Amino acid sequence: MTIQWRYTTHDHMGILSLVGRLDREDTSRFGGAVAWALARGRGPVILDLTALEGWTPAGQAAIDEAARQLATHGRTLELAAIPADGSLVPDDTCPPLPVHHDLKSAVAAHSTAGAPGVRQQWCTASWPTMS
């Protein structure tokens, strides 16, 4: 299954949500989503992995690369709700990757007055309708 993504901008952060499985075949699509987030948002990018079914080593390497790419533009990548195996091991060239238990706690770490307001949202054509 090809991953699907949704990017939502908030006041001082962006949330990039993934659905599916991040395999080698999907790293290009994921890289495109990161580029989209970089061009259209500001502040940290929270990678919401709540609906991610899993990842391969190539998928994990793509996350490391995303963190490096964002860092070159003064932005950080943070992970929310990593897959159950928890096997993400960044290499030595990867900037720090804060990991949050879930999306709610990741958002709360950046919010000063409740939930941030959604500014804009984009997603792939096959993004599933879910709450």
Continuous segment of H or E residues that includes residue 23: none
* pLDDT above 70 as % of the chain: 84
Cα 59 to its chain centre, rounded Å, is 12
On the question of pLDDT at 19 being above 50, the answer is: yes
pLDDT band at 130 (very low <50, low <70, confident <90, very high): low
Type of residue at 32: G
Note the pTM of the prediction, 2 decimals: 0.86
On the question of pLDDT at 51 being above 50, the answer is: yes
pLDDT (tens digit, 9 = 90+) per residue, 78-101? 999 987 666 666 677 788 888 899
Tell me how far apart the alpha carbons of residues 80 and 122 are, in angstroms, rounded to a whole number: 19
On the question of pLDDT at 72 being above 80, the answer is: yes
Residues present in the chain in total:
131
Would you kindly state where each structural domain of the chain is located, as residue ranges?
4-118
Tell me how far apart the alpha carbons of residues 20 and 48 are, in angstroms, rounded to a whole number: 12
Residue 131 is predicted with a pLDDT of 44
Does domain 4-118 match CATH 3.30.750.24? yes
